[in-house]
Structure 1
Amino acid sequence: MAIVTVSAAVSHVGKIRSNNQDSGFAGQTLFAVADGMGGHAGGDVASALALKRLIEIDGEYSSAVDAEFALQEAIVAANAVLTETVYDHPELTGMGTTLSALVRVGHSVALAHIGDSRVYRLREDVLTQITVDHTFVQRLVDSGRITAEEAKTHPRRSVLMRVLGDVDAAPEVDLQVMDTRPGDRWMLCSDGLSGVVEHDEIEEILKSSITPQDAADGLLKVSLDHGAPDNVTVVVVDVHQSFETPEAAPVTVGSAAQPIAFEQTVGRRTSRIPGLRLHPRSPASSEPSHFEPESDDYLDELIEEDRRRGRRRKATWLVGALIVLGIIAGVLYAGYQWTQTRFYVGEANGYVAIYQGVQQGIGPVQLSHVFQQTDVETDALPPYTRRQVETTISADSVTAALEIVKRLSDAAATGVDQNVDRPSTPTPTPTQAPAPAPEPTP
């Protein structure tokens, strides 16, 4: 029986981006994903050009080492195509693309990788990430500066340290040969999937899907369910052992499946040899998706910048916390000042007293204190009046509180209960009848 592959490829623009800068390919022995960068200035062009050049090596190889060499040559050639294209079309300056590809040869696969697209392998229901991202945050993780969890939300998580494009004439590509066996399921994807869907969720979908097409569709759906802020491209490859070789037409998805169109430029530069462009992107680009290093010291500069950002972030949090605490303190002080405009009459050490503040407290802090203690004993008050004092009697002002105390003093002297929490009502004076008019004298 022969070792055969069954594959599927899908690509989607996502829910936020306006155009699809990803490209994917599932062929006879070659499977690849490219994620373009450069915004509207040429991310789609970069991934399409690179993948179209790579597709030319799809075919049979005598050994995995030969396939690995073919991958390397094709990637170098693709990089040259991108550089020449930028030279002929200056409006595309700064465009680039990631690229992850594998070629199956018998029981082996040759892998090539640059950027942050990924290659995974599902073997015996265990999903393993095969490639390592060429990103700034991955460098920080590898050096122990941050954790893998912190890398997921790091503000520089999209900074690429290696890509294909007009930024490097000889890009460093990771190449390796690995074994494969019947039952293996390989998955290649852009960061539109791996950046939003957790590893365990990807593993579960790959394990539960029967066919590569089901798996690819399921991964695309879950990415869209998570909001799909970036383009999403997925290629799933199953390795089988069979007496028959399935015949399936190669599938190209994403920008590589569309005709490549260039904007018209003012003039074409042909007077000198094209040179390297070290700037991260065209000024016309408005999508801050990816960057490339401008020099050998770029990583150190980014690390130092990250440290400065961390210090600024801590200082910002500290200032913000102080401002919030200041506002809270101001509100509390204003509230306390208001409470000190209120008064009530109550009992203190067996005597009637006037309190300033309100009867409530905040934890152990009381919001009132004795303003004036009188010489009226609470035991001398009639029962009902004494209960009123014990439960406190509110007053709008000091004057009102003094009036209440006067009525309490009267109640203590007479022994007669009074409803002292209400202002006293003066007794109306009887109106005298007018004197009769004198009778007229005859």
Structure 2
Amino acid sequence: MAADIPAGGATPVQRPLIMRYAARSDVGRIRAKNDDSAYVGRHLAVVADGMGGHAGGDVASAATVLDMLHLDHGDYDGDAGTVLADEIQTANSLLSELVHINPKLAGMGTTVTSLLLAEGKLHFAHIGDSRAYRLRDGEFEQVSVDHTFVQRLIDEGRLRPEEAETHPHKNVLMRVLGDVDASPELDLDTLDVKPGERWLLCSDGLNYVAGHVVERTVRETKDLRECVETLVNLTLEAGSPDNVTVVMVEITEETSDDVSTAAVDIIPSQLLTEALAAASDATSASPDPEAADDEKPAADKAPEKPAAAEPPPSTDPHLGEHLSAEVLRQELASRPHELVGAAATAAESGSIPTIAGRTVARRAATVLTHKADAPVAEADDLLGQPKPRRWVTMSIAASVLVVLTLGLWLGYAWTQTRYYIGEYDSRVAIYNGVSQRLGPLQLSTLEAVTEIRMDSLPQFSQQRVRQTVPARDLYDAQRIVKNLEGTGTIAPPDECLTPSPTPAPTTAPAATPTAPVPSPDPSAPAAAPAPAASPTPTTVCEGGQ
């Protein structure tokens, strides 16, 4: 045991406790994206398993983990356990606001299982079905309780524990962080801690590895990194239909090497001031009031400066998000840590789920402080703000409805200027309108029925009439009917094809000689052969072929 022994045989000085750690997250064999997130440092470990599928499980877990990582330090003025619980509750409210800004995220949520090591105590907070295991004094036990439907059945004695893994509703959560509950119930505890004890935090993806295999791996694998890699690989070998995230923590005493790389201030005070001022200026200088309403909640619309003050211009409407990403990178660079899963992807890309300047201020602050009058102001603004926006929406909807109605009426009026030839009761008929239908609405009416029977027309003309023959106007329709009555075709006679006659040859073709005509007078010479007649021109009309 590493401890300083002062002269004179005094009690050894206990060094501060910190965490040694390793973490890994994998998307698994089936899923397209990773909805898990995890962070672990010297004082904080947190695993979050997002849900909501395509809607935003990764957003929920990443936003929650990134909003909690500033707790990774060991000095708190008040009760660190209370700070941890408040932070999780506040992260829950931020998820609700994200859904309010982007309704496509509705239904997203996340589990949270976290440890905060502060002042020689280990503070535990948990909600959902991610798990926390502890190996201490040779005893391996699950500290967390799954907030699932099957666990409730087990607690009530209606289901045996061995039946839980095959129950069809084993993944149904009863408690979760998200936009479902404004104040979710957390499992909280403050635990004594000893150097050498180990903790395993994991998402439910690790459940596909048998419990005794997990325990043996944690017991026998001394290297934390190797232990994490082994557990994830075992999950992948088991098929891994879900994401899997594993965090291993070992409690140890701080050494001189740790002190030399101890965490610095999260954000220097000057940078914090500049970030908050810039975020305030960016939101107050937004050129589009509607865009500003969508970017931040009503509680943050109160001006930070007097009304007469002119805010500096801003050319970047996403300055709040950029500042949030910059502040986050400052925090991550200030201390040893591991960030994995969706939260790591968000931090690398800068796509940090934010609530404009409010999230910048929260991430820049070391300890979250709550103002009693903030919820009241927020409620008042939320009640008053939607009214003008509702009138704008109603006006736009009414205008669109008028335009659509006018367009439909004009289109129908145009169809009533058209005519076509069709069939009615086995006779040729003239219709006013067009032959199409608009839903249940027929866009034509019967104008007149002629005496021309369909079976009196050539087959080709019958087919054309049944398919309808369009006409420019009523006169054109009557002309087509007259052509059908006179020639049995659609086209008028002057449109028929009349080829030029072929000139007759000077002598009859050799193949068809003409016999001499016998003369009544035997002494008279035989008559000369008659010239071949010229071919008669052939008229080819539509429908007569």
Into which bin does the TM-score normalised by the smaller protein fall?
A: 0.5 to 0.7
Q: Could you tell me which of 230, 233, 236 is aligned with 1:221? A: 233
Conservation of the 8 A alpha-carbon contact between 2:52 and 2:107: yes
Cα distance change of structure 1 residues 261 and 273 upon mapping to structure 2, 3 Å threshold? farther
Conservation of the 8 A alpha-carbon contact between 2:56 and 2:105: yes
Aligned-partner SS, 2:199: strand
Matches within 5 A, 1:35-46: 35-46=49-60
1:76 pairs with 2:84: no
Q: Distance in 1 between matches of 2:209 and 2:101?
A: 39
Which residue matches 1:394?
A: none
Aligned residue identity for 1:241: E
Q: Could you tell me which of 87, 90, 100 is aligned with 2:113? A: 100
Matches within 5 A, 1:17-416: 17-62=31-76, 66-193=79-206, 195-244=207-256, 246=258, 247=261, 249-259=336-346, 260=351, 272=382
Q: Distance in 1 between matches of 2:169 and 2:181?
A: 21
Q: Distance in 2 between matches of 1:273 and 1:84?
A: 15
Shift of 1:213: 1.1
Aligned residue identity for 1:189: C
Q: Distance in 1 between matches of 2:147 and 2:75?
A: 28
Q: Which moved more, 1:26-35 or 1:100-109?
A: 100-109
Conservation of the 8 A alpha-carbon contact between 2:29 and 2:240: yes
Which residue matches 1:299?
A: none
Conservation of the 8 A alpha-carbon contact between 1:109 and 1:177: yes
Aligned-partner SS, 1:119: strand
Q: Which moved more, 1:150-159 or 1:233-242?
A: 233-242
Q: Distance in 2 between matches of 1:218 and 1:92?
A: 34
Cα distance change of structure 1 residues 134 and 97 upon mapping to structure 2, 3 Å threshold? same
Shift of 1:199: 1.7
Which residue matches 1:397?
A: none
Deviations 1:83-124 (A, max 9, x none): 000000000000000000001124420000000001110113
Which residue matches 1:434?
A: none
Identity %: 45
Aligned residue identity for 1:31: A
Conservation of the 8 A alpha-carbon contact between 1:50 and 1:78: yes
Q: Considering only aligned residues, what root-mean-square deviation do their CA atoms show, in Å?
A: 2.0
Aligned-partner SS, 1:156: coil
Q: Distance in 1 between matches of 2:161 and 2:383?
A: 43
Aligned residue identity for 2:140: L
Aligned-partner SS, 1:222: helix
Shift of 1:177: 0.4
Aligned-partner SS, 1:258: helix
- Relative to its length, the structure with more strand (as a share) is 1
Q: Distance in 2 between matches of 1:38 and 1:23?
A: 14
Shift of 1:34: 0.0
Cα distance change of structure 1 residues 192 and 273 upon mapping to structure 2, 3 Å threshold? farther
Aligned-partner SS, 1:8: strand
Conservation of the 8 A alpha-carbon contact between 1:126 and 1:203: no
Q: Could you tell me which of 19, 25, 30 is aligned with 1:11? A: 25
Cα distance change of structure 1 residues 143 and 166 upon mapping to structure 2, 3 Å threshold? same
Conservation of the 8 A alpha-carbon contact between 2:231 and 2:246: yes
Which residue matches 1:424?
A: none
Q: Distance in 2 between matches of 1:178 and 1:171?
A: 22
Cα distance change of structure 1 residues 243 and 91 upon mapping to structure 2, 3 Å threshold? closer
Shift of 1:241: 3.0
Aligned-partner SS, 1:14: coil
Shift of 1:240: 1.8
Cα distance change of structure 1 residues 102 and 273 upon mapping to structure 2, 3 Å threshold? farther
Q: Distance in 2 between matches of 1:102 and 1:145?
A: 32
Conservation of the 8 A alpha-carbon contact between 1:4 and 1:245: no
Conservation of the 8 A alpha-carbon contact between 1:20 and 1:44: yes
Q: Distance in 2 between matches of 1:180 and 1:256?
A: 28
Structure 1 unaligned residues grouped into runs of 5+: 263-269, 275-442
Shift of 1:245: 5.1
Aligned residue identity for 1:21: D
Which residue matches 1:378?
A: none
- TM norm structure 2: 0.47
Aligned-partner SS, 1:139: helix
Conservation of the 8 A alpha-carbon contact between 1:7 and 1:237: yes
- TM norm structure 1: 0.57
Runs of 4+ in 1 over 3 A off after TM superposition: 270-274
Which residue matches 2:371?
A: none
Conservation of the 8 A alpha-carbon contact between 2:73 and 2:118: no
Shift of 1:197: 1.4
Structure 2 unaligned residues grouped into runs of 5+: 4-14, 262-334, 354-378, 385-545
Aligned residue pairs total 265
Aligned residue identity for 2:116: V
Aligned residue identity for 1:53: D
